[in-house]
Chain A
Amino acid sequence: MTQTLDQIFVLAKHWLLGFLPAAIQPFCSALLSVVAIILVFATLFAITTWLERKGLGRMQNRLGPNRVGPCGLLQPLADGIKSLTKEDIVPAAADHAVHFMAPVLLVAASFLGYAVLPIGRNMVLTNLNAGVLYFFAVGSLMELAVFMAGWSSRSKYSLLGAMRAIAQMISYEVPLVLASIVVILHTGSLSTVAIVDRQAVYTGIWPHWFVFTPWGLAGFVLFMVAATAESNRSPFDLPEGESEIIAGYYIEYSGFKFALFFLGEYIGMFATSAMAITLFLGGWAAPFSFLTWVPSYLWFFAKLLAIISAFIWVRGTLPRLRMDQLMNLAWQFMLPMTLINLLAAGVWQFMPAGVARWPVCAAIVAVPFLLLARGLKQKRKFQLRTYRFSQ
């Protein structure tokens, strides 16, 4: 029974495919999976916008949306209808073809990554041999879409926003990839399915998630910081800093195209969060061995919602960084720490299994962390700020 419940979507797909001639079955199988992924994550996007507005409202001591539907639950629907019926304004000087293609490419690129993310047991679109590499490769397409949006609008604000966004995304892609390499080092595979399978085993009741190792914990924290910056979320939301450059690269977009940017950004955030879950939090694996009867996809979405809530919490808590602080964090702190973490993972790999490697690896990560944090803190002296451009 639990088996059937766990595999219910896989079985349903096979049952549906049984009605079709064998020649078009592979094509229809892929199509069904793609449609399911798009529908599920678009719904999750709608829920998340509601959750975010509600949560931020509560943190800022107000109610949030509460007019449409019970508890404002139908607010995303109202927003969708509003953005669909608004006039689509394209600046006269804009490069029309590129201006049109940018949001389409952004949404397409953000959905491409889901092809390798295992949502549940046997629930993955393709089990690519180089799955993690594929994920980061299609992630880099988003930078191009951001550039197209910023450049084609012919507006200095959007161009500045695009430049900031690309500089930020490129800088944080390095620690993002380096932080995930520790997992690949340990599993010896780039396939996401193999990575999750390695974590879905238990000692006693405890799972073998990588986040429960010294290098895994450090890697997870670094990955999440880099993922926050990669998806342009607060406190790293400089590309769309309202007080500085209004809305960044999508300032000249209106109506449905603006909604597409919004969608693409959230879908990209879900994808990186799902990658963090796959790499460090055991993917669809249950947190305790006695809970394995709960269907695997429920665990995946529970973890995803937990990470999304953490994102909202961080957004409600931290102020925005300055551009130089952002770059310094990436190159002076994140990059050395990921490299040290890589060393810790290597030591873990070659030390005999036992209790001894826990303190050793923890020390390899923690001591440089403390030294680096102290060194960077000492360098930062308070001094009189001069405002060169505003005088």
Chain B
Amino acid sequence: MTASFTILAAITVAGMAAAMGLRNAVHCVLALTVGFAGIAALYLQLGAQFVGFTQVLVYVGAVAILAVFAIMMTQSRPSATPAPRAPLWAAGGAVAAAVFAVLAWAIHSNALSVQALPPQPEAAPSATVQQIGDALMHRFVLPLEIVGLLLTAALIGAVVIAMGRREEMK
């Protein structure tokens, strides 16, 4: 439990909570990018450099931008999104709180046998780009190809869905 972890965790949780709680949808996405950047910093702290930078590239650079574009296209006026109704608010909050309580209990009561893990060296295990590339090209080559296919399909599918029919575009 180091100071850097506490600070990063606080930033991440604050960003994510603001992303889910703010009224203005664009503010939500901007807060979300803070949360994503916080998660990327946590990855760096854990020694996963490649994943951290990928996180920034994909989530901050692509997903967040995509989300604000979608908000721009669907909201003609910069109006605040309506707040949920009170009973719904209570029920949803209760479900989320219950999920967190169960997970926290599981983590604390060693139900996941966390303590049984071998003692760890302080230095992070190495995951250089070289090692990741080797693993992607040998052990994980089939998933890699499938993900490539999936991304192509998603790209074409997203364009087709978002473009709509020709007559509608007028």
Find out whether the CB atom of A130 lies under 8 angstroms from the CB atom of B56.
no
Q: Known interface pairs A130-B53, A133-B57. Does A144 touch B65 (Cβ–Cβ under 8 Å)?
A: yes
From 62 to 76 in chain B, residues with beta carbon under 8 angstroms from any chain A beta carbon are 62, 64-65, 68-69, 72
A163–B73 alpha-carbon span in the complex (Å): 11
A233–B53 alpha-carbon span in the complex (Å): 27
Taking chain A's interface residues, is the majority helix, strand, or loop, or is none over half, making it mixed?
helix
A134 to chain B: closest residue by CB? B53
From 244 to 280 in chain A, residues with beta carbon under 8 angstroms from any chain B beta carbon are none
Find out whether the CB atom of B30 lies under 8 angstroms from the CB atom of A129.
no
A135 to chain B: closest residue by CB? B53
A139 to chain B: closest residue by CB? B61
Q: Known interface pairs A137-B57, A143-B65. Does A130 touch B49 (Cβ–Cβ under 8 Å)?
A: yes
A141–B60 alpha-carbon span in the complex (Å): 7
Q: How far is the CB of B79 from chain A (nearest CB, A)?
A: 13
Find out whether the CB atom of B78 lies under 8 angstroms from the CB atom of A137.
no
Find out whether the CB atom of B49 lies under 8 angstroms from the CB atom of A141.
no
B132 to chain A: closest residue by CB? A130
Q: Which residues of B contact A (CB under 8 A)?
A: 26-27, 30, 33, 49-50, 53-54, 56-57, 60-62, 64-65, 68-69, 72, 78, 128-130
Q: Report how many residues on chain A are interfacial, defined by Cβ distance under 8 Å.
A: 27
Of the A-B pairs whose beta carbons lie under 8 Å apart in the complex, a sample of 15, sorted by A's number, is A98-B27, A128-B49, A129-B49, A129-B129, A133-B57, A134-B53, A137-B53, A137-B56, A138-B56, A141-B60, A141-B61, A151-B26, A154-B78, A166-B69, A170-B65
Find out whether the CB atom of B30 lies under 8 angstroms from the CB atom of A148.
yes
Chain A residues whose C-beta falls within 8 Å of the C-beta of B72 in the assembled complex: 151, 159, 163
Chain A residues whose C-beta falls within 8 Å of the C-beta of B57 in the assembled complex: 133, 136-137, 140
* Interface pairs A-B: 10 shortest CB-CB: A140-B61, A137-B56, A137-B57, A137-B53, A133-B53, A190-B129, A130-B50, A134-B53, A129-B128, A130-B49
Residue of B26, B62, B69, B128 near A140 (CB, 8 A) is: B62
- Quick one: which of A166, A173, A190 has the most chain B CB within 10 A? A190
List 20 extra interface pairs beyond A137-B61, A144-B30, A147-B65, CB under 8 A. A129-B49, A129-B128, A130-B129, A133-B53, A133-B129, A140-B56, A140-B61, A140-B65, A141-B56, A144-B33, A144-B61, A144-B65, A151-B72, A154-B78, A163-B69, A163-B72, A166-B65, A166-B69, A170-B62, A170-B65
Find out whether the CB atom of A143 lies under 8 angstroms from the CB atom of B129.
no
Chain B residues whose C-beta falls within 8 Å of the C-beta of A213 in the assembled complex: none
